[in-house]
Chains A and B, each alone.
Chain A
Amino acid sequence: MASIPVEHGLILAALLFALGLIGVLTRRNIVFVLMSLEVMLNASGLAFIVAASRWGHAEGQVMFLMILTLAAAEVAVGLGLIIQMYRRFHTVDINVLSQMKG
């Protein structure tokens, strides 16, 4: 089988991560923010897989599984919160939540 440079895999992960970050930073719609977060989580999972295949180990996949679980739980809770927010404020605009201001 042909070989893929590790750094390319990692750079792919980094690129995805950065894109997700831009999403988190720029979107005002909270659903988009959550989606962008998913992208970031996914990117970090990718980095684990890359690292795992560099060494030919299975641990990376285990970690990915953990991240996956985390993402699932996070999305469930996050979406629940979004629903609550929408009920209370009738918007998905994240700026409305700035009442948290200390």
Chain B
Amino acid sequence: MIILFYLAGAVALISTVAVILQSNIVHALIYLILSLLAVAVVFYTLGAPFAAVLEAIVYAGAIMVLFLFVIMMLNLGKFSVDQEKSWTSGRVMLVPAIMSAILLAQLINVLRNYEHSIDVVEVGVLEVSALLFGPYVLAVELASILLLAGLVSAYHLAKK
């Protein structure tokens, strides 16, 4: 399990790096899906199978398909790779990278002294559902309204 965790983590990291460096948008999207799937595996190793499943289905599945559709609609295929390359240069990357590195360093610095191991206990669908339809039912309702609103507005916005 531990090995799986680190392995999946490494995959997630590498594929994410690929996402932000890729010039070909379709490739980048594929890497993103890979990254998300890897994170799903991480979830699983952490004892959250329900989240892992959702990650795979909703994120890597539904949302990314949405992306794919849009990319196809915008016709941003291979031909935009050159343009993309011209947009991303090392100089542009430098300052944001430093900034993010500082932020990362700070986060790690905060986490450094926090040593605790997880005894992975599986928290299954049952527990999550009990919570969702118990104390958090209002949140679920709100989430559904949010989704509905997103749906409506997406429809409205994308309409000609």
- Are A and B direct contacts in the complex by CB distance below 8 Å? yes
- Residues of A with Cβ closer than 8 Å to B? 1-12, 14-23, 25-29, 31-32, 34-36, 38-39, 42, 45-46, 49-50, 52-54, 56-62, 64-66, 68-77, 79-84, 86-87, 92-93
Residue pair B70, A31 in contact (C-beta under 8 Å): yes
Grouping DSSP codes into helix (H, G, I), strand (E, B) and loop, the A interface class, with mixed when no group exceeds half, is helix
Considering the complex, which residues of chain B in the window 25-75 have a beta carbon less than 8 Å from any beta carbon of chain A? 25, 28-29, 32, 35-36, 39, 42-43, 45-48, 50-51, 54-55, 58-59, 62-63, 66-67, 70-71, 73-74
**Number of B interface residues in the complex (CB < 8 A):** 87
B94: shortest Cβ distance to chain A, in Å? 9
- Residues of B with Cβ closer than 8 Å to A? 1-2, 5-6, 9, 12-13, 16-17, 19-20, 25, 28-29, 32, 35-36, 39, 42-43, 45-48, 50-51, 54-55, 58-59, 62-63, 66-67, 70-71, 73-74, 76, 80, 84, 87-88, 92-93, 95-97, 99-101, 103-104, 107-108, 111-112, 114-121, 123, 127-128, 130-132, 136, 139, 143-144, 146-147, 149-151, 153-158, 160
CB within 8 Å for A1 and B51 given contacts A19-B16, A36-B20, A53-B46: no
Count, A-B residue pairs, CB within 8 A = 253
A residues in contact with B114, CB < 8 Å: 6-7, 10
A11 touches which one: B46, B108, B123 (CB < 8 A)? B108
